[in-house]
Amino acid sequence: MDANSHVSAVAESQVSVFLGSDGAPFEALIAQLMNPRNEDRSEAEQLFNLCRARQLDTFLLKLVYMVRSSSSPDVRSMAAILARKQLGSWSQLNPQTQASIKEQLLYSVQQEEIQSVSKKLCDTIAEVAANLSEDSPWGELFPFLFQCVNSSLSRLQVSALHIFGQLAQHMGSQLQPHLHILHGLFQRTLSPSMPIDVRIAALCATANFVQSLEDAHDRDVFQDLLPTMLQTITQALEMNEEATAQDALEMLIEIAGSEPQFLRKQLVEVVGHMLQIAEAEGLEEGTQHLAIEFMVTLTEARERAPGMMRKLPNIIGKLFSILMKNLTDIDDDPSWHSADVEDEDAGESSNYEMAQESLDRLAISMGGSTVLPAASELFPAYMADQDWKKRHAVMIALSQIAEGCAKVRCH
């Protein structure tokens, strides 16, 4: 036997072990794929790909089995990710394998108690559903999801809502006939009586549906949920769940950029909430920055919602004031004045950098006729102040808004 034949025989023997009845070797292979050492991980990847190439059905069944059986959350999480990445081969699997995978995935999501793992598992379930044709849909999935939403366990409610949100991205058109049922479901799970993690999951699912629907009338089905969506963010902040609130703010930023008309009917209320968050004491800078990003994104949505923000000149003035205040968040150190190497960014904070960028974008999107009145109200007091930071802020602000205001003649 030559060297190549010997290597091939060894590899085939290893595949038989990995895909055999004992799950431990395959679990060890999954764990090895997370090895930080490139050499060890590369060897594991080769064996992993060989298993896939040799026995695709058995290989995917093994992966899904790891999602439900491994005692290691990291392995379960990795197996869910890997299974999702293999679903491009779904049509190559025999019907028995497909049925077993679907059954095992639904079982796993019921058993999984760690949210980070469950989320990856939900992504995999949504991906499987997206790979099925309209002629052979996953008949058990929707009844299962409604069962989970009606469960007394908040983790199952969160999982079902996450899957609904992912399904909107993958197959929104197929869900269109069920919009009023889904509206009722989201309305119930956004209720203040629900746990905050359930409410945030409902908010994200609603936001995904709003963005997936092509018809404005279909989007308007969910429009009356906006007040409770805003209340959900407020409650999360009051409960010191800022990371959760930030996830929700990011979803609203996506809506502001892609479907700003959805916000039109309650624009004053929505923007008012964002101003409160941007100005609130004690919040993380990241949370405040997201609220500002929402408002700036909305001013940039000129093509989809022309003139919408121009109807709120007072709001622009308040936003400008917040940005000016953030421009004063800069330090000065006497040692920098004699430094050998010049650092243009020395002393600049994340607030300062965010304010610079936002002023530039605001002026370009709204134009000088809107921005200059706001600037004119603030600049005189800032320039007369003894604090050098305020006078410096005016100079920086002028440079940032110059491009957007260039077409306006000063009198």
pLDDT for the residue numbered 10? 62
Statement: residue 259 has pLDDT above 70: yes
Please give the pLDDT value at position 116.
94
pLDDT at residue number 178:
84
User: pLDDT tens-digit profile of 127-180?
Assistant: 999 888 777 889 899 999 999 999 999 999 999 999 999 998 887 677 778 889
Cβ atoms of residues 236 and 245 within 8 Å: yes
Contacts of 381 (CB under 8 A, 6+ apart): none
Residue owning tokens 């629907």: 213
How far apart are alpha carbons 83 and 123 in whole angstroms?
A: 10
Q: What is the pLDDT of residues 334-384, one digit of tens each?
A: 554 454 444 455 557 899 999 999 999 999 998 888 899 999 999 999 999
The long-range contacts involving 336-345, CB below 8 angstroms and separated by at least 24 positions, are none
Give the pLDDT score at 25. 93
pLDDT at 8: 61
Span 230-234, mean pLDDT? 96
Would you state the pLDDT for residue 1?
Answer: 45
pLDDT band at 5 (very low <50, low <70, confident <90, very high): very low
- CA atoms of 271 and 336, how far apart (whole Å): 40
Buried b (16+ CB within 10 A) or exposed e, 316-333: bbbbbebbbbbbbbbeee
Cβ atoms of 230 and 270 within 8 Å: the answer is: yes
Q: pLDDT tens, 283-336?
A: 999 999 999 999 999 999 877 777 788 877 788 899 999 999 999 998 765 554
- Measured CA to CA, the distance from residue 106 to residue 109 in angstroms comes to 5
| Rg of the chain on CA atoms, in Å | 27
Residue 101 pLDDT exceeds 60: yes
C-alpha distances out from residue 169 to 45, 186, 205, Å: 30, 16, 10
Q: Greatest CA separation found in the chain?
A: 93
Distance CA 207, CA 187 (A): 13
pLDDT given at position 334 = 56
**pLDDT of 64-75, one tens digit each?**
999 999 999 999
pLDDT at 60: 96
Q: Does the pLDDT value for residue 9 go beyond 70?
A: no
CATH superfamily of 139-303: Leucine-rich Repeat Variant (1.25.10.10)
Share of the chain above pLDDT 90, in %: 72
Q: What pTM was computed for the model?
A: 0.87
pLDDT tens column, 239-258: 999 999 999 999 999 999 99
Please state the φ and ψ torsions of residue 408, each to the nearest 5 degrees: -95, 125
Backbone angles phi, psi at 348, to 5 degrees: -80, 135
Each as own residue / partner, the long-range contacts of residues 103-107 (CB below 8 Å, 24 or more positions apart, any chain) are 104/61, 104/64, 104/65, 104/67, 104/68, 105/64, 105/67, 106/140, 106/141, 106/144, 107/68
**Which residue is associated with the tokens 């309650």?**
266
